[in-house]
């Protein structure tokens, strides 16, 4: 009977969403509709790319075999399936495997460089005025923890034709293919599969690394701490010239700031644990500090960053419910979990549940997180003392080795303050950063990342926009005007895809789509988020059955509950306190410092602005 009721409930939720839209309903009805949509996605949109190769994930009873630490590479996170989610395992899918076969004949059609030039290229910077630049840095900070396809394949690259009026210096443009999965037997009957170089788990691998070698080189070997210099900065990696940390790819000043912040937080946690448990070894302190630090990251992402970029009243309630339950933080803080049901008391601390499919991040998850328009091409760095301009730099001047130079020349409070008062870009068409479309890599190769991203979705078998919508149980669009409410964009998309609405690339459709109120990205992308944001918590025993005082320590549990992003920033950089004390969300624009008399009359040139509505 319960099954029949649930099926009826889910059916009704989908019908209401199709007819009205979950975000147009009153908050309680919107929450109920989202719950039904998530049920459908959990049932139909988890596909195992190891099907027929390994056993099912087991009964989910982990508590009696609880470990005390995360491993370096993510193995044994789930003791019943030790290799699940570890570094080097395959990405899963959020679509049926039968729909994941790429059409290799169409990977270069329409020309991805033309899509980059005519639909994605930034005409002028369109800021997202409801966010600050820390929100953009945070997203990449998280992504580096979650996934990487690793080095590209060297042989048989894609050869992208270059039109006669295109100034790209190399004709044709060469784009290396994604490295294929070498663990396949060839007889599995699967679409192409790819492997995640990082651990799939939410385990802070961007700081701690996904291997023992990376983990150990960042440690001091004393009292569990990570290495920092006398000025509170990360050490320099002599091989790269950038900060030494777990993940260093695509390095820029935003990553340097957040890696530094959470390294300092790790060491603060170590100090507190050493006081409470002076008999603990270096390893014991390190591993407990990592657990607490990572849980803080997950809490900040869930309860602060996400409501910042998806600033919708229904979504705020729903996403905070992932952590605290719909009964809210106050009840959780004062009485703990009062129900085994995740809807009432949150996912954190509940039972581990893989929903019948071994845990893995997915190619579709990667695809919807293509949000590079968040990055500006130019930066202003200002003093936290009086808002005076210190320097203006372009993105290449704050990236790679140059990020390290900037950190050494500029006080960290000034850098954080500058990020706190600046806006990122809006995630929309015609706003892809110029520098990323003509990016000189550290190995001196030249790439157009927008072109590359279009190819990546096509070559990995991620469906194009209209099919993607349908596979996520949204109604298909029948006209180009349904894709976007901007008539100029609708015409441009129609011309680009030669009037074939089913060929519109996923990234183009996601950027063009009208958004629910307050949303920084599309409702279609949000369907993957509904599923996978919860799954990252549901499947991880360290956020479910191991999330106890016995594992985290009683002090650690309280530290996680009592702290957020503003607490970290003001603890390690007290000068920032005036700008955060009245902020409702630390990822929203901060209050600026009083300008000096020489700055008071300065004018700021107007720019086209886009709020998240």
Catalytic residues: 144
Q: What CA–CA distance (Å, rounded) separates 581 from 167?
A: 49
Q: What CA–CA distance (Å, rounded) separates 595 from 175?
A: 47
Q: Is the dihedral of CA 484, 457, 52, 356 positive or negative?
A: negative
Non-local (6+) Cβ contacts of 346 within 8 A are: 321, 322, 323, 324, 325, 332, 337
Residue 287 CA, distance from chain mean position: 24
DSSP state letters, 389-444: EEEEEEGGGGBTHHHHHHHHHS-HHHHHHHHHHS--B-SSTT-B-TGGGGEE-TTS
State the CB neighbour count (10 A cutoff) for residue 107: 19
Sort strands 378-382 and 173-177 into parallel, antiparallel or unpaired. unpaired
Q: Which residues of 511-549 are buried (b: 16+ CB within 10 A; e: fewer)?
A: bbbebbebbbbbbbbbbbbbbbbbbbbbbbbbbbbbbee
Cα distance between the two ends of the chain: 41
**Considering only CA atoms, which of 46, 77, 78 is closest in space to residue 363?**
46
In the block, tokens 């995740």 appear at: 342
**Considering only CA atoms, which of 416, 408, 340 is closest in space to residue 384?**
416
What would the two tokens of residue 498 be?
A: 């030669």
Q: What CA–CA distance (Å, rounded) separates 93 from 431?
A: 29
Q: What CA–CA distance (Å, rounded) separates 483 from 492?
A: 12
């Amino acid at each position: 009977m319960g099954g029949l009721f649930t099926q009826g409930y889910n059916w009704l939720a989908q019908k209401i969403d199709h007819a009205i839209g979950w975000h147009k309903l009153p908050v309680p009805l919107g929450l109920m509709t989202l719950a039904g949509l998530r049920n459908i996605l959990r049932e139909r949109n988890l596909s195992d790319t190891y099907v027929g190769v390994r056993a099912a994930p087991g009964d989910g009873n982990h508590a009696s075999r609880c470990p005390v630490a995360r491993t370096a590479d993510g193995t044994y996170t789930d003791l019943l399936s030790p290799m699940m989610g570890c570094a080097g395992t395959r990405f899963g899918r959020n679509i049926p495997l039968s729909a994941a076969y790429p059409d290799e004949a169409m990977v270069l059609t329409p020309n991805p460089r033309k899509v980059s030039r005519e639909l994605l290229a930034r005409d002028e910077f369109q800021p997202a005025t409801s966010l600050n630049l820390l929100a953009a840095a945070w997203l990449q900070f998280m992504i580096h923890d979650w996934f990487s396809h690793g080095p590209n394949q060297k042989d048989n690259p894609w050869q992208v034709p270059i039109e006669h009026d295109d100034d790209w210096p190399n004709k044709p443009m060469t784009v290396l293919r994604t490295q294929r999965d070498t663990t396949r037997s060839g007889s599995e009957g699967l679409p192409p599969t790819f492997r995640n170089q990082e651990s799939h788990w939410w385990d802070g691998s961007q700081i701690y690394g996904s291997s023992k070698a990376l983990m150990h080189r960042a440690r001091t070997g004393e009292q569990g701490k990570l290495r920092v210099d006398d000025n509170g900065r990360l050490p320099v990696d002599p091989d790269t010239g950038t900060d030494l940390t777990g993940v260093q790819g695509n390095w820029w000043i935003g990553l340097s700031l957040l890696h530094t912040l959470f390294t300092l937080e790790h060491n603060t946690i170590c100090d507190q644990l050493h006081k409470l448990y002076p008999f603990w070894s270096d390893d014991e302190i390190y591993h407990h500090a990592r657990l607490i630090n990572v849980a803080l990251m997950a809490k900040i992402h869930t309860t602060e960053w996400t409501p910042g970029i998806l600033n919708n009243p229904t979504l705020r309630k729903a996403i905070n419910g992932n952590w605290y339950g719909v009964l809210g933080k106050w009840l959780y803080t004062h009485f703990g979990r009062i129900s085994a049901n995740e809807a009432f008391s949150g996912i954190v601390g509940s039972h581990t549940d893989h929903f019948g499919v071994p845990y893995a991040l997915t190619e579709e998850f990667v695809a919807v997180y293509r949000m590079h328009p968040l990055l500006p091409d130019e930066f202003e760095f200002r003093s936290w003392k009086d808002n005076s301009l210190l320097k203006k730099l372009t993105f290449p001047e704050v990236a790679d080795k140059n990020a390290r130079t900037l950190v050494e020349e500029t006080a960290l409070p000034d850098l954080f303050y500058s990020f706190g008062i600046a806006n990122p870009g809006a995630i929309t068409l015609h706003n892809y950063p110029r520098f990323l479309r003509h990016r000189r890599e550290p190995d001196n190769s030249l790439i157009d990342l927008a072109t590359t991203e279009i190819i990546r979705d096509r070559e990995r078998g991620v469906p194009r926009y209209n099919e993607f919508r349908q596979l996520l149980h949204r109604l298909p669009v029948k006209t180009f005007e349904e894709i976007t409410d901007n008539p100029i964009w609708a015409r441009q998309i129609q011309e680009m895809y030669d009037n074939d609405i089913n060929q519109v690339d996923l990234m183009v459709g996601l950027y063009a789509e009208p958004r629910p109120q307050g949303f920084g990205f599309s409702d279609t992308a949000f369907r993957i988020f509904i599923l996978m944001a919860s799954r990252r918590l549901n499947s991880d025993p360290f956020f479910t059955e191991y999330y106890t005082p016995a594992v985290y320590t009683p002090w650690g549990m309280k530290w996680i509950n009592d702290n957020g992003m503003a607490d970290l920033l003001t603890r390690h950089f007290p000068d920032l306190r005036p700008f955060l004390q009245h902020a409702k969300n630390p990822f929203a624009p901060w209050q600026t410092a009083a300008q000096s008399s020489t700055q008071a009359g300065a004018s700021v040139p107007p720019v086209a602005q886009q709020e998240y509505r």
